[in-house]
A and B are shown apart, each in its own frame.
Chain A
Amino acid sequence: MADWVEACAVDDVDEEDVIRFDHGGRTFAIYRSPDDEFFATDGYCTHEQAHLADGLVMDDIIECPKHNGRFNYKTGQAKGAPVCVNLRTYPVKVEAGKVMIQIG
């Protein structure tokens, strides 16, 4: 059974933005969409080792800061070169002002 882990407070993430969350030797990216929903993916781009939390959130897209590779952070889908491999996503819930992610 995967654990729910507290990633951050709701207010830690601006609307249409992303922050980095490190846990258990792994790095995740926590997103807040323009319609105020939260999502989580692996923190590194699947193309090369770059922190997605340094990238740009536009609508439902996260753009990697290194080569501008784009993913849909809600589904993890890679949107074209230079990213070809989808991003892993994680279930997210908000409880008492905290963003929780389920890490498998």
Chain B
Amino acid sequence: MTGMTKKRDYSLVGESTRRAIETGLASAEWYHTDVSRKAIKELMQRSDGPAIRDTVIWIVAILASAAGGIYFWGSWWCVPFFFVYGLLYGSSSDSRWHECGHGTAFRTRWMNDVVYHIASFMLMRNPVTWRWSHARHHTDTIIVGRDAEIAVMRPPDLLRAALAFTGILDFRYSLPALVRQAFGKLTPDEKSYVPEMEQHKAVIAARWHVVIYIATIALAVYTRSWQPLVLVGLPRLYGTWHMVMTGLLQHIGLADDVVDHRLNTRTVYMNPISRFIYWNMNYHVEHHMFPMVPYHALPRLHELIKHDLPEPNPSIWHAYREVWPVLLKQLKYEDYFLKRELPPTARPYRGEFHDVNMSAAAE
């Protein structure tokens, strides 16, 4: 262990940013498992079928649960319906946003765009700024000072992480951010990853979102009922827990400032319901290595390259049990991280690329 812990600066225009650029960590060449062109080409193939099927199921389930919630409004029987509705609205929208943002869910571009915009609205995410922040996340995954989507920073704020399950923090950030953007104001961080020629689009998108929320609030006031808000907006609070539960596991407790997704990203085996909600993003190392592969082909990609990846966590529960002690250690020593073991069939980690951080892993 070294006593040279350096405070991480997570702003995207600060000291860590400068260091990441100077050391070549920004926009670096990342490790990829060898896969033949033929095999990866086959896996990358797009089709509309699986996503249309899943989207029809998704929309029907959203409408049915909303209808049940409205029908039983005023009695406790509405609770299970809103539980399902919230889950679909506040959590599964994240994976739809993600996959359609990549343009891999459907073969047809406009289908990706339509679902992307609907899901962005559900999540209170500006569809323009978030598209660019996610591009940055893929370029510089968990590179401090570059990645705009680091969910749990070091040292970890455990209260904040726990509150994330309620959606309160996201809600508190997202809604004011949309209002700010609607007034034409982008932060320096946002300006660092949204190209100038795209920034006006972010403002227009934010205005649309804000108009819909104002209309929803007006309807709630007019009808003197919470119902419009429980259906639009508030699911971002009460339905977000599954998105956080699965999403946090993507990178939490693993290395930062490395250029090998096997070191900073986690694959977790999950139950079929969570996989439907999450659209197979539990195969997250695979997704980061080959973001062109659609969600429905990720299990096949996993089978193809698992010999070169750390053993996946067998369950969500197992993954959290693994993460918890790492977070506790990071409270005292923020350079600590979990270095996951590779199977004997894997190509080794390139330690020389990650000298600083590799020495920080205690096991």
A55 to B291, CA, bound (A): 10
Rounded to whole angstroms, the CA-CA distance of A47 and B284 in the bound complex is 23
How distant is the Cα of A35 from the Cα of B104 in the complex, in angstroms? 24
Q: Closest residue to B45 on the A side, CB-wise?
A: A56
Instruction: Give 1 or 0 for each of A52-67: 1 = CB within 8 Å of chain B CB.
Output: 0001101000010111
B286-301 to A contact mask, C-beta < 8 Å, 1/0 = 0000111000000000
With A56-B41, A68-B102, A68-B291: A81-B198 Cβ-Cβ less than 8 Å:
yes
Partner of B195, one of A55, A67, A79, A84: A84
Give CA–CA (A84, B150) in the complex, Å.
Answer: 26
Q: Roughly how many angstroms separate A84 CA and B139 CA in the complex, as a whole number? A: 17
Please report whether the interface of chain A is mostly helix, strand, loop or mixed according to DSSP.
loop
Interface Cβ pair total, 8 Å cutoff: 44
User: Would you call B41 and A81 a contact (CB within 8 A)?
Assistant: no
**Contact yes or no, B107 A56, CB < 8 A:** no
**Interface 1/0 per residue, B340-355 and A, CB below 8 Å:** 0000000000000000
- Whether the Cβ atoms of B41 and A68 lie closer than 8 Å is no
Bound-state CA distance A81–B109 (Å) is 12
- Are A82 and B132 within 8 A (Cβ)? yes
User: How far apart are A53's CB and chain B's nearest CB, in angstroms?
Assistant: 9
B219 to chain A, nearest CB (A): 32
Is A48's CB within 8 Å of the partner chain B? yes
A65–B195 touching, CB < 8 Å: no
B27 & A67 in contact (Cβ 8 Å cutoff): no
| A70 CB contacts on chain B under 8 angstroms | 103, 109
Partner of B197, one of A17, A63, A84: A84
Task: Give, as a whole number of angstroms, the nearest-CB distance from B195 to chain A.
Answer: 6
B44 proximity list for chain A (CB < 8 A)? 56
Type the 1/0 row for B5-17, where 1 means its CB is closer than 8 Å to any CB of A. 0000000000000
Number of interface residues of B (CB under 8 A): 22
Interface size class of A (residues with CB under 8 A): 10 to 19
How near does chain A come to B2, taking the closest CB pair, in angstroms? 33
Q: Which of A2-30 contact B (CB under 8 A)?
A: 17
Decide yes or no whether B185 CB sits under 8 A from chain A: no
Rounded to whole Å, the gap between the CB of B260 and the closest CB of chain A is: 16
Is B131 engaged at the interface, CB distance under 8 Å to the other chain? yes
List CB contacts (< 8 Å) of B130-153 with chain A.
131-132, 135, 138-139
B46 within 8 A of partner (CB): yes
Most buried by B among A55, A70, A82: A82
Complex CA–CA separation, A81 to B46 (angstroms): 19
State how many angstroms separate the Cβ of A57 from the closest Cβ of chain B.
9
Give the CA-CA distance A56 to B47 in the complex, in Å: 13
Q: Are B103 and A66 in contact (CB under 8 A)?
A: no
In the complex, 24 of the A-B residue pairs with CB atoms within 8 angstroms, ordered by the A residue number, are A17-B41, A47-B135, A48-B139, A56-B45, A56-B46, A63-B103, A63-B292, A65-B290, A65-B291, A66-B138, A66-B139, A66-B291, A67-B138, A67-B139, A68-B102, A68-B104, A79-B109, A81-B128, A81-B131, A81-B132, A81-B135, A81-B198, A84-B197, A84-B198
Chain A residues with a Cβ under 8 A of chain B: 17, 47-49, 55-56, 58, 63, 65-68, 70, 79, 81-82, 84
Known interface pairs A17-B41, A68-B102; 10 further A-B residue pairs with C-beta atoms within 8 A, sorted by A's residue number: A47-B135, A56-B46, A66-B138, A66-B139, A67-B135, A67-B138, A68-B104, A81-B128, A81-B131, A81-B198
